[in-house]
A and B are shown apart, each in its own frame.
Chain A
Amino acid sequence: NAGVMQNPRHLVRRRGQEARLRCSPMKGHSHVYWYRQLPEEGLKFMVYLQKENIIDESGMPKERFSAEFPKEGPSILRIQQVVRGDSAAYFCASSPRDRETQYFGPGTRLLVL
């Protein structure tokens, strides 16, 4: 059973470009969580999704950031018009049901030049 997969593992973007980060949860998991780890800072919750639904997006910046988890395919975290402050490690985690152990992906390291 493959673990949580994220791609790309590293992503370099110039200011103003778009970044798309993908997360494939573990098989059988329908709950996905996105977290961000800024340099020298702790992890912060961004958004919690179930299939086709955003349950809680209270940690998402109000502009430029969006997330989806379609019926088919991976969950996508999209950052439009990236700025240097978006440089961070973005982790997703999945669980089979809410309130159970979350399994983390390897993360995507985004660098904005």
Chain B
Amino acid sequence: KNEVEQSPQNLTAQEGEFITINCSYSVGISALHWLQQHPGGGIVSLFMLSSGKKKHGRLIATINIQEKHSSLHITASHPRDSAVYICAARPWNAGGTSYGKLTFGQGTILTVHP
């Protein structure tokens, strides 16, 4: 079982729909990242969060540390949001510290139709 699991693996939506992508992790983490990988392959960092909620434009990310769960929401989805969305956890290491090494989920392929 992967340390970071995403659902769904594939998501198809109509333009304007509200979208939720879920991420669960099984290890203790110091932060969780949400990334976007474009069809051309480039990767953009969307959020880094360790508690609560962050918002940027139509994107909202939340995290519940106790439940080891994070969600990425997209409001008023648009075809240009079509991409692979990846959550990545920054785990604590054996020494109780944490550094930038990331453990990735498998990604959610989002397709938004006009």
- A-to-B contact residues, CB < 8 Å: 31, 33, 35, 41-45, 48, 55-56, 58-59, 89, 91, 93, 95, 98-104, 106-107, 109
Contacts and interface: CB of A to CB of B under 8 A. Distances in A.
Contacts of A35: 102, 104
Contacts of B98: 99
Contacts, number: 62
Interface string B34-58: 0100000111110010000000000
Given A33-B101, A48-B101, A55-B99, A43 B88 contact: yes
Interface in B1-50: 30-31, 33, 35, 41-45, 48
Q: For chain B, give the interface size range.
A: 20 to 34
Interface of B: 30-31, 33, 35, 41-45, 48, 86, 88, 90, 98-107
Contacts of B88: 43
Given A44-B104, A45-B102, A99-B90, 16 more contacts: A31-B100, A41-B106, A43-B88, A45-B101, A45-B103, A45-B104, A99-B99, A100-B100, A101-B45, A102-B102, A104-B42, A104-B43, A104-B44, A104-B45, A107-B41, A109-B41
A14 to B, nearest CB: 23
A58 B43 CA distance: 23
A56 B88 CA distance: 17
